Amino acid sequence: MRKVYNKVLSVSGNVITVKAADVGYEELAEITTRRGKSLAQVIKIEEDTVSLQVFAGSRGVSTSDEVRFLGHPMQVAFSENMLGRIFNGSGVPRDGGPEIAENLIEIAGPSVNPAKRIIPKRMIRTNIPMIDVFNSLVASQKLPIFSVSGEPYNELLARIALQAEVDMIILGGIGLKFDEYMKFRNTLEAGGALNRSIIFMHTASDPVVEGLMVPDLCLAVAEKFALQGKEVLVLLTDMTNFSDALKEIAITMEQVPSNRGYPGDLYSQLASRYEKAVDFEGTGAITILAVTTMPGDDVTHPVPDNTGYITEGQFYLRNGRIEPFGSLSRLKQQVNKDSRDDHRAIMDGMIQLYAQYLETEEKRSMGFRMSPWDEKLQRYGRLFESGMMDLSVNIPLEEALDRGWSILAQCFKPEETGLRSELIKKFWPEKQQAD
Amino acid sequence: MNKQTGKIIGISGNMLTVSFEGTITQNEVGYAVRGNEKLKSEVIRIQGDKAYMQVFESTKGLKVGDRVEFTGDLLSVQLGPGLLTQIYDGLQNPLPELAEAHGFFLPRGVILDPLSKDAKWHLTPLVKAGDVVRKGHYLGWVPETQFKHYVMVPFYMDGDLTVESVEKEGDYTIDQPIVTVRDEKGQKHGLTMVFEWPVKLPVNIYKQKILPTQPLVTKARIIDTFFPVAKGGTYCIPGPFGAGKTVLQQITSRYADVDIVIIAACGERAGEIVETMREFPELVDPRTGKSLMERTIIIANTSSMPVAAREASVYTATTLGEYYRQMGLDVLLLADSTSRWAQAMRELSGRLEEIPGEEAFPAYLESRIAEFYERAGLVELFNGEQGSLTIGGTVSPAGGNFEEPVTQATLKVVGAFHGLSRERSNARRFPAIHPLDSWSKYDSFVPENNVSISRDFLEKGADVHQMMMVVGEEGTSQEDFVTYLKSEFLDAVFLQQNAFDPVDAATNPDRQTHVITQIASVLESELQFADKEEARNFFYDLRQKFIDWNYLEWQSDEFRTQEKTIQTLIKGKTQDA
């Protein structure tokens, strides 16, 4: 039926070329090598020379291997039966279960018409004060977690997966260490969240190109579920590995690199994935949380930098805590006006004072005398860190706001906080006065 | 016209290599045909019998051998009544109509009419048979929202044109001929209310360009008072992500004192433009009492939409702006973000395998940016009236580093620079425009004296702050310390503005002048304090009162009462001596 070619013209990196006719752009092919079968995708056509990126990598590809074009682009199954299952970056089960081939859908579909988008308005509560109070997560939001290697980002992601108020979770792992993958899986299982999760897992030992498909697979499935009315949370870890895979292919294809070897379209590539986050009017929504590790803790590195421009804010994870500075949820304004009328004031006021505390802290470490005001800030800073920032704090939003007022009242006089007088009148705890 | 066709011989990303015979034109539009789909493309390079074309859609599934139909026309937009309130993609496809026809997703290869063919407009003719007109002259007008939309002689018609006949006042659709003219060669042309213009060619049908001097009021205090923008001028807002570029643009699009606002969401998040799209129809324009949408056109080519159309979207927006300027209106174009536009050029240049310049941007980056901003301007039209197009572009420098090519190329050609700083946004000091790094070449409506005093204190305050970081508070003299407190006070009550408070979000010129005068007198006064603690407490108290004052309606009773309270507080400190 489909024509089979068995002359591979060139092998370079993970890209091979064959002479073939009537091949569509981004079409899929199956290549049979002595190591087994692998999928490959068309990434360039020049007259009758077709370049393909081989998902399993080009190791062991011989010039006479068989290449069979499938006549369609990459597809993935979509079914309720996928819940609780684990697949690899080509969509093949890696948990030993049966293959699922019903309802095949194309991945990387067209983008949502901006005119059909709605203003996000539902907060997703996580019971983590640094998120709920200071940077609320909103349904349809896309947020990365910026972090250096070694920080507990996957633990944070798993905890959000367990606690977040959503219908289902789709986890995409790109270049994850095997232990991390098992830990993640076990946490979801222990927390009883596995049966509402679908996992696409590409581990560090799998071929690099296969990781490139993971975000698209996750998002295509998420999109279908969202259109059926499900509130879907997509967790991706780690998008820096994804970008590095893009870089590898781009360099193999001899594209002019723009910045530190990354291709010039890195922004568009990342954006087309992140922009899949959407709230479909009348049905479900997709929310994306993605880990982006920053090589060398450098936020100006092309991957976190481009990501920051695409996403609706970011969480910085540093020293095991979500940093209040730099961390930002751009959509929080949509939801924190209706939660409680002191929400915004506490949010801004406490951060401003914490910034002053850090300045004092700098002065203190240089050995300067502390003024009475500095002493107050010192006290405040310590209470804020232990009562709010610590990741182990697990309280609902309202309780966290009350705790905020209580911390302020333990340290300051009302007028020192810079908060509006009417709010102070309403919320200032009367019993605890500053000493 | 015999339309050329060609054949695809290569595909790489959104770039096609097409073989053709006969004549084709650079920047000509062609369609790649696959089954029923026709994918809009533009010729961007010609080499022998090969044309390189960028496709404005996804190229998924295209094959070598597929046909390409050339149109002979450059990439153009339709100009005519009905543009206002529209939401277009970068190629002037109306997005709400697309959504109605195709649902949640953007279908490939669908092109809809940008302007309604059925809507009737009430025409009042302004010419009569025998009149001689030229391109850009007014033939009549139709009411469009609150404006007189002038029907003009198409910008591409050259020479003197003699009016042969004019339709009577009445209701017409955009396609009905309303005026017949005879050109210098004696040929007759039936003119309708609509015509096309290539987006990449500037419209320069005016007597002369004039130096912009009149301030464009944005109602953001730090901009209007310290770094003003002029009508017909240009400005840029570079800043790292999260510094508030888009919020600043949104506020400006709401409160700016201009006739028409064109918002070009170019390669940015869809969510942001959605806010504008959904909220503007509900918001009331304080100048007219009508919906804000009535003076707005939105061009939304967001980051996940095709890259080539992103490149076009900025030109589309500019052309629409120039069109309304020809009617003697003040137009403000907000482009967010020009860096995404530059990146689109970079992607394209990479696919063309051009020799890259700095950070792989093409060598012509600077000239393209300059060309774009030069399309702004205050102009004198054929009838002596003035119209203006002001361009404000955000820049998203990689890593927040202003030394990168796009920011640098932009700074060379704009009249004002509103640099956003990450330190200020981290400290929640919004708008996060850096008061010491930013500049403007335009004049403010606020008396220069008050501005220079304030600026002086900001500089001195920053110096003292630097010093205090080294020698500590106890090592700082009381005089310096008070200077520092004064600058912090100015920052807190004037530079910072709460975009989410209905009153504080927009400060009118009179109020700005009034408040900065008050502040300047505080800055200049000799205040007496026993010690630093007392000084700090005084300024915290004063700051609190001023912030409360900012939240009160201008010239309301509460406003005046609060002003008295503040004055008493200040007097108390100046008379202690």
Q: pLDDT, tens digit, for every residue of B152-184? A: 999 999 999 999 999 999 999 999 999 999 999
Q: Would you state the pLDDT for residue B420?
A: 95
Task: DSSP letter for B155, please.
Answer: T
Most B-contacting residue of A47, A116, A337 (CB-CB within 10 A), to test interface: A116
Domain identity same for A188 and A296: yes
Domain identity same for A216 and A346: no
Q: Which of A227, A259, A362 sits opposite B359 (nearest CB)?
A: A259
Most A-contacting residue of B100, B102, B241, B464 (CB-CB within 10 A), to test interface: B241
Q: Would you state the pLDDT for residue B575?
A: 64
**Looking at the predicted structure, is the pLDDT value of residue B310 above 50?**
yes
**Token pair in block for residue A284:** 């479900």
Chain B, residues 404-423, CB within 8 A of chain A, namely 422
What number of residues does chain A have? 435
Averaged pLDDT, B305-323: 94
Q: Give contacts of A265 with chain B, Cβ < 8 Å.
A: 13, 307, 343, 347, 350
Positive or negative, the CA dihedral B462, B465, B471, B473 is positive
Beta carbons within 10 angstroms of residue A193's beta carbon: 20
Residue A253 lies in a domain: yes
Q: Give contacts of B350 with chain A, Cβ < 8 Å.
A: 255-256, 258, 263-265
pLDDT, mean over chain B: 93
Closest by CA position to A202, among listed A225, A233, A180: A180
Cβ <8 Å between A326 and B400: no
Q: Could you list the residue range(s) of the whole structural domain that residue A62 is in?
A: 4-73
A119 reaches B (C-beta below 8 A) = yes
SS3 sequence, chain A? CCCEECCEEEEECCEEEEECCCCECCEEEEEEECCEEEEEEEEEEECCEEEEEECCCCCCCCCCCEEEEEEEECEECCCHHHCCCEECCCCCECCCCCCCCCCCEECCCCCECHHHECCCCCEECCCCHHHHCCCCEECCCEEEEEECCCCCHHHHHHHHHHHCCCCEEEEEEEEECHHHHHHHHHHHHHCCCHHHEEEEEEECCCCHHHHCCHHHHHHHHHHHHHHCCCEEEEEEECHHHHHHHHHHHHHHCCCCEEECCEECCHHHHHHHHHCCCEEECCCCEEEEEEEEECHHHCCCCHHHHHHHHHCCEEEEEECCEECCCCCEECCHHHHHHHHCCCHHHHHHHHHHHHHHHHHHHHHHHCCCCCCHHHHHHHHHHHHHHHHHHCCCCCCCHHHHHHHHHHHHHHHCCHHHHCCCHHHHHHHCCCCCCCC
Domain identity same for A268 and A225: yes
CA pair distance B270, B467, nearest whole angstrom: 44
Q: Would you state the pLDDT for residue B576?
A: 53
Residue of chain B minimizing CA distance to A25: B61
Cβ <8 Å between B96 and A115: yes
Cβ <8 Å between B398 and A300: yes
**Domain end point (choices A40, A73, A106):** A73
CA pair distance A362, A357, nearest whole angstrom: 9
Domain identity same for A134 and A199: yes
| Number of cross-chain residue pairs from A and B with Cβ atoms under 8 Å apart | 225
- Distance of residue B482 Cα from the nearest chain A Cα, in angstroms: 16
CA pair distance B497, A393, nearest whole angstrom: 33
B534 reaches A (C-beta below 8 A) = no
Most B-contacting residue of A3, A45, A279 (CB-CB within 10 A), to test interface: A45
Q: Which of B59, B269, B401 sits opposite A310 (nearest CB)?
A: B269
- Residue A65 sits in a domain whose CATH number is 2.40.10.170
Total domains present in chain A: 3
Averaged pLDDT, B534-547: 93
Q: pLDDT, tens digit, for every residue of A219-260? A: 999 999 999 999 999 999 999 999 999 999 999 888 888 888
Residue A249 lies in a domain: yes
- Residue A307 sits in a domain whose CATH number is 3.40.50.12240
- Distance of residue B267 Cα from the nearest chain A Cα, in angstroms: 8
Q: Give contacts of B399 with chain A, Cβ < 8 Å.
A: 299-301, 305
Cβ <8 Å between A275 and B59: no
Domain identity same for A135 and A220: yes
- Distance of residue A98 Cα from the nearest chain B Cα, in angstroms: 30
Residue A160 lies in a domain: yes
Closest by CA position to B192, among listed B47, B79, B311, B26: B79
Q: Give contacts of A225 with chain B, Cβ < 8 Å.
A: none
Terminus-to-terminus CA distance in chain A, angstroms? 85
How many CA atoms are closer than 13 Å to the CA of B536, on its beta-carbon side? 13
Chain A, residues 253-312, CB within 8 A of chain B, namely 255-259, 263-265, 267-268, 271-272, 274-276, 278, 280, 299-302, 305-306, 308-312
Cβ <8 Å between A113 and B548: no
Closest by CA position to B41, among listed B1, B8, B63: B8
User: Going from the N-terminus, what domains does chain B have, and what CATH number goes with each?
Assistant: 5-74 (2.40.10.170), 86-97+206-440 (3.40.50.300), 121-193 (2.40.50.100), 448-574 (1.10.1140.10)
- Distance of residue B223 Cα from the nearest chain A Cα, in angstroms: 23
**Domain end point (choices A299, A334, A369):** A334
Residue of chain B minimizing CA distance to A369: B474
Domain identity same for A178 and A122: yes
Q: C-alpha dihedral over B145, B150, B156, B162, to 10 degrees?
A: 150
A402 Cβ neighbours under 8 A, 6+ residues apart: none
- Distance of residue B68 Cα from the nearest chain A Cα, in angstroms: 15
Q: Would you state the pLDDT for residue A434?
A: 43
Domain identity same for A22 and A107: no
- For the whole model, what pTM was predicted? 0.91
A267 Cβ neighbours under 8 A, 6+ residues apart: A306, A309, A310, B267, B303, B340, B343
- Distance of residue A347 Cα from the nearest chain B Cα, in angstroms: 10
Averaged pLDDT, B238-253: 88
Residue A435 lies in a domain: no
Cβ <8 Å between A73 and B61: yes
Q: B19: which strand partners? A: B7, B50
Residue A433 lies in a domain: no
CA pair distance A382, A397, nearest whole angstrom: 21
Residue A434 lies in a domain: no
What is the radius of gyration, based on Cα positions, of chain A?
A: 25
Q: pLDDT, tens digit, for every residue of B184-194? A: 999 999 999 99
A421 reaches B (C-beta below 8 A) = yes
Q: Would you state the pLDDT for residue B10?
A: 95
Q: Which of B13, B87, B422 sits opposite A115 (nearest CB)?
A: B87
**Token pair in block for residue A26:** 């981004």
Domain identity same for A195 and A329: yes
CB distance A399 to A140 below 8 Å: no
Residue A382 lies in a domain: yes
Residue of chain A minimizing CA distance to B241: A309
How many CA atoms are closer than 13 Å to the CA of A277, on its beta-carbon side? 30
A71 reaches B (C-beta below 8 A) = no
Tell the burial category of A62 from Cβ atoms under 10 Å away from its Cβ (0-12, 13-18, 19+).
Answer: exposed
Most B-contacting residue of A309, A350, A362 (CB-CB within 10 A), to test interface: A309
B295 Cβ neighbours under 8 A, 6+ residues apart: B84, B145, B146, B147, B259, B260, B261, B285, B288
List of chain A residues with pLDDT < 50: 433-435
Q: How far is CA A338 from CA A333, A342, A344, in A?
A: 9, 10, 10
Percent of chain B whose predicted confidence (pLDDT) is above 90: 80
B493 reaches A (C-beta below 8 A) = no
Domain identity same for A121 and A184: yes
Residue of chain A minimizing CA distance to B268: A310
Domain identity same for A282 and A134: yes
Residue B489 backbone dihedrals phi, psi, to 5 degrees: -65, -50
Domain identity same for A189 and A313: yes
State which amino acid sits at residue A362. E
Q: Give contacts of A348 with chain B, Cβ < 8 Å.
A: 428
How many CA atoms are closer than 13 Å to the CA of B377, on its beta-carbon side? 24
Cβ <8 Å between A267 and B303: yes
**Token pair in block for residue B225:** 């008072």
Residue B577 banded pLDDT, cuts 50, 70, 90: very low
Chain centroid, CA B102 distance in Å: 29
Cβ <8 Å between B11 and A308: no
The residue ranking higher by pLDDT, B514 or B285, is: B514
B550 reaches A (C-beta below 8 A) = no
Q: Which of B273, B360, B469 sits opposite A264 (nearest CB)?
A: B360
B110 reaches A (C-beta below 8 A) = no
Chain B, residues 1-30, CB within 8 A of chain A, namely 9-13, 17
- Distance of residue A126 Cα from the nearest chain B Cα, in angstroms: 22
Q: Give contacts of A371 with chain B, Cβ < 8 Å.
A: 473-474, 532-533
**Domain end point (choices A73, A107, A126):** A73
Q: pLDDT, tens digit, for every residue of A180-205? A: 999 999 999 999 999 999 999 999 99
Task: DSSP letter for B494, please.
Answer: I
Residue A432 lies in a domain: no
Averaged pLDDT, B490-495: 95
Q: Would you state the pLDDT for residue B475?
A: 87
- Sequence-ordered strand ranges (E) for B205-314: 208-210, 215-216, 229-230, 234-238, 260-266, 296-301
Cβ <8 Å between A326 and B242: yes
Q: Would you state the pLDDT for residue B519?
A: 95
Domain identity same for A50 and A196: no
Q: Would you state the pLDDT for residue A325?
A: 82
